[in-house]
Structure 1
Amino acid sequence: MSNRIRLRLGTVIAFALATVAAAIAAVALGNRRVEYEIQTHVDELLSDSEPRDGEFSRDDIEDLPAPVRRYFTHVLEDGQPHVQVVQLHQRGEFRLGGPDSEWRPLVADQYVTTRPPGFVWDASIDVLPRVPARVLDCYEGGDGVLRAWLLGAVPVASAGPSPEMNAGELLRYLAEAVWYPTALLPAQGVEWDAIDDRSARATLEHRDASASVVFHFDEHDEIERVTAERYRMEDERYESWTGHFRDYRERNGRRIPVEAEVGWGRPDDDERYWRATIDRIEHRPMGTNRQSDGEP
């Protein structure tokens, strides 16, 4: 090999190495920025939490619809403190396309406050083998926000805050309150309206957003399904949205479902896009030390 060829080859290799090093540095810098943004949302959510004394009493639910009374009596104990902060870990799958698309692995940490209502969902989804996307979905300070970054650094999606996003994220908070059931009590601002002996509508208002969800109860007086009309960004319109819950277990003295699925459409024909197991959850009651529980 001539000196000229070796020189050219060395230049090409040096350029390639410099390009790779620059790309790695850019991704690392992007990762730090994304981590900082997500942690800022978590910190602000928790710092805005308002400690208030309160405990569950059956006297407080006497005027609620019958299936709602039975539900609270089943999942809560008299004198149980109201939950202030929740931290949970999910492991499951997410579908990025339509009903024929492939399920991709997902892990997520979620932080929730009940006064005021809010949450931060920090997820990692493997969109391709060894190619993760970092996703932030949150309702914090009255604003609904969705952000996504490929490799945890390259922005690929951004939505909100907007009136539709704010209401949609408040709706998610209300639907997921089955994991922190004292948040569904009237003392937490939820209004209940009877529908029939196995369903009731819950409505929650916060700042300029309002959310309404129909809760469906099974023969064990547990919430098995939630339905609502929610704004879908891809179609720019409101569509039916359904959540399914099952496998109730006792966690920190509360009965909650540890398996769930969510989809667009009606219950008998919904396009499910998320399914997961709650493998760890911590309830921090108002005025008490933290409580945490995972798999037995």
Structure 2
Amino acid sequence: MIATPFTPHPDIAGRSLLTLRHHSPEGVAAVLDLAAALKDGRAAGWPPLLRHQVIALIFERPSTRTRVSFVSGIERLGGSAMVLSPADMQLGRGETIEDTAKVLGRMAEAIVLRTGPHETLLELDRHAGVPVVNGLTYEHHPCQALADAQTLRERFGDLSGLRVAYLGDGNNVCVSLMIVGALTGMEVVAACPEGYRPPGEVVAWADATGAERGGGARVVDDPHEAVAGARALYTDTWVSMGDEGTEERRRRDLAPYRIDDALLDRAGDGAVALHCLPAHAGDEITYEVLHGPRSAVWDQAENRMHAQAALLAHMLAPG
């Protein structure tokens, strides 16, 4: 049940979300609690926590789930979503990020940006004057991580000590999973080949921070080692935007890290498969696992809407 009147958590209220490393375990827990309450109360209708709020959504990179989940969540909470692409803006004709930020900050209560370089997001945040949300950069994907944590809480309850194996390319999704895992006490073990590992500094931070809450983070070579005792096996596409021209090499290097039924059988009892989508069945995950009874992928996709709506409510709702 959502408390009335709703009180935004001070760690989230009025602040940008660029990476979850800037936020506290308590703030993350508050977002996840509200996300669960919104999901439970969806049939009865959501409270208008974003009434009279306009959120600008800028998509410099293609999107399905990020766009649809933000628009749906914003409108269900009574807000208005303004969707923009470079083709819709002077940004696509050479206007600077600084100038764009200063204009949008006068007309919207928050800005969501899906882009490539993380520095572009930071530049927007420096000049917007309103909260900025990272809808994806090359380095981080915090909104996906919130939905991941919500999905795992639904399946397993308390996340402290929960072992999650991430397999394949240690990209922005892997990085953000390690960060949210550290803040919620998960043990995240990433199995990645040489040349595909997440930054060592992130792993060290997540391991030290997670240890305070019964978890940790590490990287191994062997996927079988990573999945032993894991309650969830997580993967992402092997060929992301920007990887064009390296498809064959990436498929060859990452083939041993494919999630299939045999690998799931090596995991802990009741283990589920996760994927942030879009998936390429037969590459990083088999069709049978993706669409089978041990898949939590579709709950995970739906939870993008609940987690992001909860984030914006804590960020923007009046206290």
Do the two structures share a fold, i.e. TM-score over 0.5? no
Greater relative contact order structure (CA < 8 Å, 6+ sep): 2
**TM-score with structure 2 length normalisation?**
0.27
Larger % of helix: which? 2
**TM-score with structure 1 length normalisation?**
0.29
Larger Rg: 1
Larger % of strand: which? 1
